Amino acid sequence: MALRAKVAGENPSARAARVWGAEGERWFSEGDPIWRVHADASMFVGGIRSLLLQSLHPLAMAGVDEHSDYRSDPWMRVSNTSFFIAQTTFGTIENAERLVESVRAMHDQVVGIAPDGRPYAASDPHLLGWVHVAEIETFLTCYQTYSPTPLTSSEADSYVAQTAHVAELLGVVDPPLAVSDLEAAIDAYRPELELTPAARRAADFLLHDPPVAGPETLGYRLLASAAVRTLAPWARTMLDIRTAPVPDALIRRVLNKPAVSAVRWLLNDPQVARDRVIGHAASR
């Protein structure tokens, strides 16, 4: 599967071995909601959606725009972020903590002045909080929409609480512990959000000039459509995303769910299952 190969990066078997083959205690187990969500094909949709949503914070987007090579080498960023999700969800505690420390060290180097004159730092707990809640709200929404076995209300609350552990280690202060808290956090950030030129460039890149070619393009566009059709109307309006005047529920049922199901079927291939490095394009 070409898309999966891009997400997993070079030598996916070696990367998978570092996650699944390592011996030691783990934070989560196969029955946990976080395992179910992060192992599902809906994460491919979540990667696109989370970047779109995260881009709406001017300071978070300034850091990405000025310190990331996402346009010139997008798949390297996707691969690194997918490995972070896999390691901190499925890997050993020792390896996960080591990777978290490495990411925190990288965040310390990402500082600058946004185009509006405000300083930013990737290590800022407030910006880390936005990246976290936008990401987790996205992953949960995509899973609940496209998984054949959505979480119960209590399981969804558990998912939010489980993701808070890594968020706190990264520097997020008081991350949400339940779905209601997550929704409240998103609402609290909304007055800070806007469509900056950098956010518009990111949306254009993701939706109109994607980093794929040939037969992969159709599959990517179906996943991108699946991402857009789960965005809240206010987010779509802010991003200036125009969609055909067809009900979201119909598009999700006729086009998006079959596309995600096809990815899920491909992920069940024995080789892919053995090399499970789960994919998404989020900003860290």
- Looking at the domain assignment, is residue 168 inside a domain? yes
Mean pLDDT value of segment 98-119:
93
Alpha helices in the chain (DSSP H): 2-8, 12-16, 33-38, 42-54, 58-67, 74-90, 93-109, 125-146, 153-170, 179-189, 197-207, 216-228, 233-239, 248-251, 257-267, 270-274
- Looking at the domain assignment, is residue 283 inside a domain? no
Residue 70 confidence (pLDDT): 58
CA distances from 283 to 33, 60, 69, 90, 190 (A): 22, 9, 12, 20, 18
* Dihedral (Cα; 146, 251, 261, 156), 10-degree rounding: 0
pTM here is 0.86
Given a cut of 70, whether residue 166 has pLDDT beyond it is yes
- Looking at the domain assignment, is residue 279 inside a domain? no
DSSP one-letter string for 9-39: -S-HHHHHIIIII--S-BS--TTSHHHHHHT
Share of the chain above pLDDT 90, in %: 55
DSSP one-letter string for 143-165: HHHH-SSPPPHHHHHHHHHHHHH
pLDDT band at 74; cut points 50, 70, 90:
low
- Looking at the domain assignment, is residue 281 inside a domain? no
136-149 pLDDT tens trace: 999 999 999 999 99
- Looking at the domain assignment, is residue 284 inside a domain? no
User: Who's near 15: CB < 8 A, 6+ residues apart?
Assistant: 8, 9, 83, 86, 275, 277
Give the pair of three-digit tokens for residue 155: 């399981």
CA distance 232 to 248: 11
- Looking at the domain assignment, is residue 147 inside a domain? yes
pLDDT band at 95; cut points 50, 70, 90:
very high
- Looking at the domain assignment, is residue 214 inside a domain? yes
7-48 pLDDT tens trace: 544 555 566 666 767 788 899 998 999 999 999 989 989 989
- Looking at the domain assignment, is residue 176 inside a domain? yes
Tally the domains of the chain: 1
Residue 13 confidence (pLDDT): 59
Given a cut of 90, whether residue 103 has pLDDT beyond it is yes
**Which range marks the domain in which residue 112 is found?**
2-274
